[in-house]
Structure 1
Amino acid sequence: MLADIRSPRDLKDLTPEQLVPLSAEIRSFLVEAVSRTGGHLGPNLGVVELTLALHRVFDSPRDHILWDTGHQAYVHKLLTGRQDFSRLRRRDGLSGYPSRAESAHDLIENSHASTALSYADGLARAYRLRGQSDRAVVAVIGDGALTGGMAWEALNNLAAARDRPVVIVINDNGRSYTPTVGGLAEHLAALRAGGERRAPSLFENLGLAYLGPVDGHDIAALEAALRAARAAGGPVVVHCLTHKGRGYRHAEDDPLDRFHGIGVIDAATGRPATAAGAPRTWTAVFAEELARLGDERAEVVALTAAMLHPTGLDRFAHAYPDRVFDVGIAEQHAVTCAAGLAAGGLHPVVAVYATFLNRAFDQVLMDVALHRAGVTFVLDRAGVTGEDGPSHNGMWDLSVLQVVPGLRLAAPRDAAQLGAQLREAVEVTDAPTVLRFPKGGVGPDVPAVDRIGGLDVLYRNAASGGHREALVVAVGVMAAVCVKVAERLAAHGVGVTVVDPRWAKPLDAALVSLAARHDLVVTVEDGVRAGGVGAALAQAVGDAGLDVPCHNAGIPAAFLPVAGRSELLEEIGLSATALEREILRLLAHRTADPRRTAENGLAVSRIRPPAVAGVNGLKPEREVRA
């Protein structure tokens, strides 16, 4: 039957009896399709009947159905004419979230939690002002997303809006990634258990109408509740009880919720289809290092915003359950709570996806940095992530955190450096520290051949045949590709020095001194070029009065499309081939510096780097000699 559903209108002619086998067919489709591509399986298996009921009661796209944390919109895609899941989360395929480019049925592309109620409030206000009283606004939000502060800001406004007909559907499965935490979770549990003799709900006490709890897998009951909510004429909460992973035994029986978001799996067994000998992930390396650090330092504690397992804190939590705090999907609270923990004599480690730290920038700036709080932020999935689309690329941190006074930011290039720099970070008690690393497997360690100040020299060769010399500044995980580029450039006779600054903020004074010895400086970073490490280095070089061109290879200030990480890196010029070609082009256009003179076969510059170039206490050299 699913193949005959081309739009939500096709659902309205089906009998209640036909919806049962259709639900089963949708679940079978999801298991088979998502197991081949990876994606969010558990959340979508839980909303099959709910999505069918929504599209039978409301008239999308005239009525807008807004999906909070839109990873639960796969069924919605199937029912709105998007049934080719063969390239889900891949280039030229379906996005893993709502996408306006795909369908008129997707109004918003939110893939960060707790936003849909605010969209709905604004949309309902617009319809009222434009006199469009026949259009419904529906916001579907999970109990996990209700732990986010934005959701409660919106509820506060909706509670006072008797004239704004917004249907608030709570998809209550008791979980986000893992069981939902906090007082709200306890209240929803009480509503589930209370039956008809329950006390008034929190929503009713706020002034919102409340319907439920409703069995989220009973389509008839769902349709009745949704029709009543639509007819109410004001904001109504419809509380639906669903079972995450419903219909797929492996997901239903998994206590760790490993089927929330999956890679490629064997659908029959539920086991990952990962090849034997796959490298450890960056997350796993961090998990091991933090657990060791917990053994060594009793003051280290950890915080997560509802992502204990995805950020690797589960190992630390197993060893030290009283030293891990899950605050729900509330990044802002997590950051300021960490500042409070630091004020109380502890050293908090806040583990979060890089893209989600954006939501708490003000707290990092004003609540942590202003108070000189010793808090360490560990940013997983930094840089290009790819498959989850434009909202999930962790590409903003190197730029937005540059403006935070006193903050120190490290980008480990390999597993060994991650462990070393995590220890360096927790030694800092008077300022925020940040570590960032990408999604995926850790490659081999990239050894240093020398140390200059605080810089690790990863590669060095002299120019030959009259060629010029380039300084390549490799930020974090880009180190391995930069060494490969240097080897290729050496074959052309180009002199290349590759350095890892280790701490990308503040920049070491030795880096400016080193720049003076080269004909070209190229910074390679897995972050936005605008305001990133390269921009900071170019400013420092300019402040020192050096006439050395600085080129920054990084991510453009644009929302990248859905594609694999390697595909995107190639497209934006961060592959070895692209970097080699660009550096050769830049060197070919470099004119001779008239201030450089030959002295015993060496180029000498008398330019002194500024004394403020390094906030780490390193002094500038008296004379820069190459």
Structure 2
Amino acid sequence: MHLSEIVHPNQLHGCSVHQLEQIARQIREKHLQTVATSGGHLGPGLGVVELTLALYQTLDLDRDKVVWDVGHQAYPHKMLTGRYNRFHTLRQKDGIAGYLKRCESRFDHFGAGHASTSISAALGMAIGRDRKGEDFKVAAIIGDGALTGGMALEAINHAGHLPDTNLLVILNDNEMSISPNVGAIPRYLNKMRLSPPMQFLTDNLEEQFKHLPFFGESLSPELQRFKEGMKRLAVPKVGAVFEELGFTYMGPVDGHNIEELITTFNQAHEISGPVLLHVATTKGKGYEIAEKDQVGYHAQTPFNLATGKALPASKPKPPKYSKVFAHTLVKLAENQPKIVGITAAMATGTGLDKLHAKLPNQYVDVGIAEQHAVTLAAGLACEGMRPVAAIYSTFLQRAYDQIIHDVCIQNLPVFFCLDRAGIVGADGPTHQGLYDIAYLRCLPNMTAMAPKDEAELQRMVVTGIEYTDGPIAMRYPRGNGYGVPLMEEGWEPVPIGKGEILRHGEDLLIVAYGSMVHPAVQTAEILSEHGMEATVINARFVKPLDKELILPKAEQIGRVVTMEEGCLMGGFGSAVAEALMDADVLVPLLRLGVPDQLVDHAKPDEAKADVGLMPAQMAEKIRAKYAAQPSVVSK
């Protein structure tokens, strides 16, 4: 059977181990060809090929349900569930999503882009199944990195309290999240990897007792206790911890031995109550280059399969925002030992790996635990340190209560650096950083700013470090800057709450925030070609808003447009509208941003075009609203 013939995972039933191994090779070949061509996550999916095939051979996926954590490890799942022939469209506009989506396939039982959700979702499905009196299997596949997230541990705590609820949790242990895992749990898991599989010892012991004529089919309470005591001795140390939490622990099992996996899965399905099956895998399995560099090949832009090297860009690009941020922070931290960079398992993505390499004592990786990261930063601030919490906009959502309860209410000087703010492209709805403007500006004591380019980002890093009157946040986009000149040192902070005028015009006022400032200038140039001259303000801050600059200009010109790369509801444009209303400056206002809709996976410019945020589109909207209406100045 060829992989292209599989349109339903139940077609794996009856396949021999040899046939499954052939399909595994085909999955890896397709996986590598696709990611090498279009980019995407590489290592996670390569590591779970055998696990997926073996599990799906033991399930009836017309009935049974599988919940994948995160989703980028589920590329083999997508190929086995009717999407092989479209897999080449991975992460492209209108193509196959890079994560799981319930609307994409009936086999995507739960959507996921953030980590640590699978056990909670699967447990909810299992409880719902039991409440309805139905009978099907539920399995959650969670990576060891995701097990560092508190939500996963909360779910384990709950599931272990439900001994009559059948649930299979498969721990995909490859010793990695994106970077090597940190913390006590991964350390213990590593000990378990080195322990021999012993989970069958007590089962064999019980069988031996049953064959003795004076014991029969059932064990006495005393012998049952003896058996459980032996079980504690049989399982590795952390396996015993899971047992104490109410799970039946099995493993570690070789995650690349299909025959062993099938046998173990079938045994796990026969056990009542919650079961945790520990599967040891290799991230990037089958592609030697990815196996050797598991961090670098977690995800890749298009690359040469033979060499593993990224395909050369058509022309040199300016540095990425994250690189400029990291370089500036390291320079400052060299002279300020109180600066501490904090990441939630995203060292390479945020650039904090550079801080770790240069100043390891001023760096903390907490694992996939954003809530802990924020409150840890609050504790550091209590001791006079300068915590810099570098977290993607989409992931900071996971710690919203901590921002309010532990930072803002206590008015602690934590510096939040929100990478990937705005439209992020191919990762899709789970990763778009569209809500931080709205969810931060409403918080008392919070200051929020955004640079127009990479040079202003340097100044805002200094601003955030020097600001000690309370929490302050800086948002900046994914990708490359504009190529503006950068300084190596001597950066001046940006005055708190002060914007700047970049362009003068008497027909229209455009007030733009962060990544929309340069598009605002481009839009103004297009409008100029049509006889409409615009003043463009770089707001810099959404809170406090520079009312002293914006309100007089708005009243003078009489026509206002706001631009933001974030949600319109409660966002930057709303802040300007509120300021105008509060000051009784009643002028027409056009807010341009992301409407109340999800932004799907596509290239960033394609996604921006879909929501009307390209300069030509914005110019057209402005002309449609204001071209026939004279400005106050021209009256």
Give TM-score, length-normalised by structure 2.
Answer: 0.90
In the aligned structure 2, how far is the partner of 1:63 from the partner of 1:602?
69
Match of 2:94 among 87, 92, 95: 92
Larger CA deviation: 437-446 vs 60-69 = 437-446
Paired position in structure 2 for 1:60: 61
Which amino acid in the other structure matches residue 324 of structure 2? V
1:115 has 2:117 as partner: yes
Question: Which residue is equivalent to 2:23?
Answer: 22
Q: Please name the residue that 2:458 is paired with.
A: 419
Contact 2:334 2:359 in 1 (8 A): no
SS at the partner of 1:329? Answer: coil
Counterpart for residue 485 of structure 1: 523
Report the Cα distance in structure 1 between the residues aligned to 2:163 and 2:438, rounded to whole angstroms: 43
Match of 1:296 in 2: 335
Aligned to 2:616: 577
SS at match of 1:371: coil
- Check if 1:522 corresponds to 2:561: yes
Aligned to 2:241: 202
The Cα offsets for residues 138-161 of structure 1, whole Å up to 9 and x where unpaired, read as: 000000000001101111110011
The corresponding residue for 2:414 is 375
**How many percent identity over aligned positions?**
41
Does the C-alpha gap of structure 1 residues 56 and 72 become closer, same or farther in structure 2, counting only changes over 3 Å? Answer: same
Change in 2 beyond 3 A, CA 1:142/1:247: same
Partners of 2:344 and 2:370 within 8 A in 1: yes
Q: Tell me if the contact between 2:163 and 2:246 (Cα under 8 Å) persists in the aligned partners.
A: no
Structure 1 residues without counterparts, runs of 5 or longer: 463-468, 594-600, 604-626
- Aligned match of 1:536 in 575, 597, 600? 575
Q: Which residue of 2 aligns with 1:272?
A: 310
Cα distance in 2 for residues equivalent to 1:458 and 1:395? 25
* Counterpart residue type for residue 456 of structure 1: E
Determine the C-alpha separation between the residues in 2 that align with 1:516 and 1:4: 66
1:346 to 361, 365, 385: 385
Cα displacement (A) at 1:520: 0.8
Task: Assess if the C-alpha contact under 8 Å between 1:51 and 1:75 holds in 2.
Answer: yes
1:459 partnered with 2:503? yes
Asked whether the 8 Å contact 1:446–1:479 carries over to 2, the reply is no
| 2:347 corresponds to | 308
- The answer for the alignment partner of 1:50 in structure 2 is 51
- Provide, for residues 54-81 of structure 1, a one-character-per-residue CA deviation record: whole Å limited to 9, x for no partner: 1101111410000001111100011111
Q: Distance in 1 between matches of 2:619 and 2:5?
A: 52
Deviations 1:203-254 (A, max 9, x none): 1121211111111111111112211221112110000000000110110111
CA contact (8 A) 2:441 2:542 kept: no
Matching residue of 2:404: 365
| Aligned positions of 1:563-602 closer than 5 A | 563-588=602-627, 590=629
| Separation of aligned partners in 2, 1:416 and 1:40 | 31
Contact 1:385 1:565 in 2 (8 A): yes
CA offset at residue 446 of structure 1? 9.8
- CA shift in 2, pair 1:429/1:310, >3 Å: same
Partners of 2:177 and 2:345 within 8 A in 1:
yes
Q: Which amino acid aligns with 2:120?
A: S
More helix by share: 2
Kindly state the Cα deviation for residue 591 of structure 1 after the two structures are TM-superposed. Answer: 7.0
CA contact (8 A) 1:414 1:446 kept: no
Question: How big is each residue's C-alpha offset from its partner over 1:357-383, in whole Å with a ceiling of 9 and x where there is no partner?
Answer: 111111111111111111111111110
The answer as to whether partners of 1:41 and 1:259 remain within 8 angstroms in 2 is yes
Which residue of the partner structure matches residue 385 of structure 1? 424
Q: Which residue of 2 aligns with 1:33?
A: 34
Q: CA deviation at 1:191?
A: 1.2
Deviations 1:258-290 (A, max 9, x none): 111111111111111131412211111111111
Q: Which runs of 5+ in 2 are unaligned?
A: 199-233, 487-494
1:410 aligns with 2:449: yes
The separation in 2 between residues aligned to 1:319 and 1:13, in whole angstroms, is 55
SS in 2 for 1:341: helix
Tell me which residue corresponds to 1:131.
133
The one-character-per-residue Cα deviations of 1:79-103 (angstroms, maximum 9, x if unpaired) are 1111122211011110001122221
Q: Per-residue displacement from partner, 1:385-415 (whole Å, max 9, x unpaired)?
A: 1201111100000111111112111111111
1:21 deviation in Å? 2.1
Quick check: 2:251–2:279 contact (8 Å CA) kept in 1?
yes
Superposition deviation, residue 502 in structure 1: 1.1
2:587 matched residue in structure 1: 548
CA distance, structure 1, for counterparts of residue 504 and residue 335 of structure 2: 37
Counterpart secondary structure, 2:82: coil
Structure 1 distance, partners of 2:23, 2:522, is: 53
Give the conservation status (yes or no) of the 8 Å contact 2:246–2:274: no
CA-based RMSD of the aligned residues comes to 1.8
Q: Check conservation: 2:498, 2:545, Cα contact below 8 A.
A: no
Partner Cα separation in structure 2 for residue 493 and residue 296 of structure 1: 51
State the match for 2:369 in structure 1.
330
Structure 1 letter corresponding to 2:553: L
**More displaced stretch, 224-233 vs 234-243:** 224-233
Letter in 1 for 2:386: H
Match of 2:358 among 319, 330, 334: 319
In 2, Cα distance between the equivalents of 1:185 and 1:171?
12
SS at match of 2:194: helix
Match of 1:610 in 2: none
Measure the CA separation in 2 of the matches of 1:541 and 1:14: 69
Cα distance between partner residues in 1 of 2:595 and 2:191: 49
Whole-angstrom CA distance in 2 between matches of 1:354 and 1:277: 27
Match of 1:232 among 252, 267, 271: 271
| Cα shift at 1:589 | 5.3
Aligned partners of 2:574, 2:325: CA distance in 1, in Å?
A: 29
Amino acid at match of 2:178: Y
Higher mean C-alpha deviation, range 542-551 or range 504-513:
504-513
Tell me which amino acid in the other structure corresponds to 1:322.
N
Aligned partners of 1:552 and 1:431: how far apart in 2? 30
Q: Does 1:401 align with 2:402?
A: no
**CA shift in 2, pair 1:452/1:54, >3 Å:** closer
Tell me which residue corresponds to 1:618: none
Provide the rounded CA distance (Å) in 2 between the counterparts of 1:354 and 1:403: 16
8 Å contact 1:87–1:93 — kept in the other structure? yes
Instruction: Name the structure 2 match of 1:620.
Output: none
AA paired with 2:537?
V
Q: Deviations over 1:311-368 (max 9, x none)?
A: 1001111111011110000000000000000001101111111101111111111111
Shift of 1:493: 2.5
Q: Which residue type is aligned with residue 124 of structure 1?
A: A
Q: Are 1:509 and 2:543 counterparts? A: no
The answer (yes or no) to whether the contact 2:526–2:616 under 8 Å persists in 1 is: no
For 2:479 and 2:344, locate their aligned partners in 1 and report how far apart those are by CA, in whole Å.
21
The whole-number CA distance in structure 1 between the counterparts of 2:631 and 2:159 is 66
Equivalent residue for 1:81?
82
CA contact (8 A) 1:211 1:236 kept: yes
Provide the C-alpha distance between the structure 2 equivalents of 1:17 and 1:454, rounded to a whole number of angstroms.
Answer: 68
Amino acid across the alignment from 2:387: P
Looking at structure 2, the residues matched to 217 and 592 of structure 1 have their Cα atoms a distance apart, in angstroms, of 70
CA distance in 1: counterparts of 2:192 and 2:496, whole angstroms: 63
Match of 1:70, SS?
coil
Kindly indicate whether the alpha-carbon contact (under 8 Å) linking 1:413 and 1:446 is maintained by their aligned counterparts in 2: no
CA contact (8 A) 2:101 2:110 kept: yes
Matches within 5 A, 1:599-614: none
CA distance in structure 1 between the partners assigned to 2:475 and 2:310 by the alignment: 26
